[in-house]
Amino acid sequence: MSLHLDEAARSILETNDLGGYTIPTKGLYPYQWNWDSAFVSLGFARFSLERAWQEIETLMEGQWPDGMVPHILFRKDDPSYFPGPSVWGTHGKPMPSSGHSQPPVAATAVRHIYELDKSPAARERLKVLFRKLLKWHRWFHTARDPQGLGVIAVMHPWESGRDNLPDWDEPTKQIDTSSVGTYQRKDTSHVDPTMRPKKADYDRYLALVQFGREHNWDPYAIATNCPFFVADPAMTFILLRADRDLLALAKELGEDEAATELEEWIARTESGISILWNEDLQAFTVFDLRSGTKGDGISSASFLAPYAGISNPQYIEPMLAHFDRIASQVTYMMPSYDPDHEAFEPMRYWRGPVWGILNYMIAKGLGEIGEDSRAARMRDDTAALIAKSGFAEYFNPFTGDGAGGSSFSWTSAIWLDWVTPTRTAGEA
């Protein structure tokens, strides 16, 4: 069974590999996506270190001069996807791309690959990637945290990578969609519309793209005037972890100045996360920087604190209580949104379904703070989901049914790197 799934996972990565870069799945997502590539590299690392390095290298080829690494690289035009390059209106960049970023998992992936491949050639590749990653992290700490609060904002739900999260409902409500005009969605022709965002949400997504395009994607204009600017726990925790991983690499490479800069960012974020702490819910939630209000729901990102190296009992004890409460309600952990919240929908995109990559990060963090049995539950559930429904984009937390796209790259990658029982015993 496992061997068969190992082969299937590898074959999905090979099929979705378009030559040095990998698409998430055919049809629905025909381009290179940012955090998808980072996870995908972990899967490749299990059978081709060369290909693992390459995946991150091709991702970084899209880096903008200001350091931003776009969430989509449009390497070849593909009419099956909307909104394509012309809608984004990003000009004069290394290649056609979207105009905002996505969670920076890449530095963490690079550290992982380097641990597996410390050859002299790998060290040279690491040096080049290190400079680019540092520049990208610096962009996050300035463009998306212009006040130096120690929390990272997103200017678009798509930037968060958790596109249709209920947490974005309130902050997107006041977005003016009157000039969006008519357009033809493509996602609902690939996937059942009940699993995808509704039209009103899509209008707001496009209005935000329009805002970015009209302001030339300028970080200052975005931070000052974008109608949507929300501090996100996933973005903040993922960057905090990635900063720590980059710091370890800085020390390895003797990059002292960079190490000092990274230490400053880490210290600032460690104290900044208190802004995301919701005293009423006893959990980390989003914080709307425009309205000054906190989100009213717990999402899978609320469980990423340990992944970010946070082990303070004041945060961790309530988090574990929420974990157990949710675990007792669902068959498969971790739903993307709290099943006790009224906005929860088990089959709709980021409003309830389980994502393997979130499970991977949550479990990694839990393991690192010694929560082995909860980490094991995450892994067992992920294994059961994939065994039942294959390498789907996401899964129903009650039935385990697969949803969204199929033959999905990052689900295959985390199978190879983390879930498969054929992985060497004892490895993280």
CA 123 to mean position of chain CA atoms: 26
DSSP E strand stretches across 240-315: 277-278, 283-284, 287-288, 293-294
Alpha carbon distance 53, 87 (integer Å): 31
> At its nearest, how many Å lie between ligand GLC and the CB of residue 82?
12
- Which CB, 14 or 380, lies closer to ligand GLC? 14
Alpha carbon distance 315, 320 (integer Å): 9
Q: Which residues pair with 25 in a beta bridge?
A: 29
Of these residues, 163, 252, 270, 345, which one is catalytic? 163
- Which CB, 36 or 245, lies closer to ligand GLC? 36
> At its nearest, how many Å lie between ligand GLC and the CB of residue 161?
4
Give yes or no for a contact between 409 and 16, defined as CB atoms under 8 angstroms apart: yes
Q: Is 393 an annotated catalytic residue?
A: yes
Chain residues that interact with ligand GLC, rule: CB under 6 A: 24, 29, 33, 35-36, 161, 163
- Which CB, 315 or 408, lies closer to ligand GLC? 408
- Which CB, 103 or 272, lies closer to ligand GLC? 103
DSSP E strand stretches across 22-120: 32-33, 72-73
Alpha carbon distance 241, 122 (integer Å): 22
Dihedral angle computed from the Cα positions of residues 286, 289, 292 and 298, in that order, rounded to the nearest 10 degrees? 0
> At its nearest, how many Å lie between ligand GLC and the CB of residue 8?
18
| Half-sphere exposure at residue 19, Cβ-oriented, CA atoms within 13 angstroms | 2
- Which CB, 102 or 278, lies closer to ligand GLC? 102
**Three-state DSSP class for residue 329:** coil
Please name the helix (run of DSSP H) or strand (run of DSSP E) that holds residue 60, with its range, or none.
helix 49-60
- Which CB, 39 or 130, lies closer to ligand GLC? 39
Burial 347-374 (b: 16+ CB within 10 A, else e): bbbbbbbbbbbbbbbbbbbbbebebeeb
Q: Which residues pair with 186 in a beta bridge?
A: none
> At its nearest, how many Å lie between ligand GLC and the CB of residue 348?
12
Amino acid identity of residue 81, one-letter, is Y
Q: Is 163 an annotated catalytic residue?
A: yes
Give yes or no for a contact between 419 and 16, defined as CB atoms under 8 angstroms apart: no
Of these residues, 159, 232, 393, 417, which one is catalytic? 393
- Which CB, 25 or 269, lies closer to ligand GLC? 25
> At its nearest, how many Å lie between ligand GLC and the CB of residue 76?
17
Q: Which residues pair with 73 in a beta bridge?
A: 32, 97
Amino acid identity of residue 46, one-letter, is R
> At its nearest, how many Å lie between ligand GLC and the CB of residue 158?
6
> At its nearest, how many Å lie between ligand GLC and the CB of residue 27?
12
Please name the helix (run of DSSP H) or strand (run of DSSP E) that holds residue 257, with its range, or none.
helix 256-272
Q: Which residues belong to the active site?
A: 163, 393
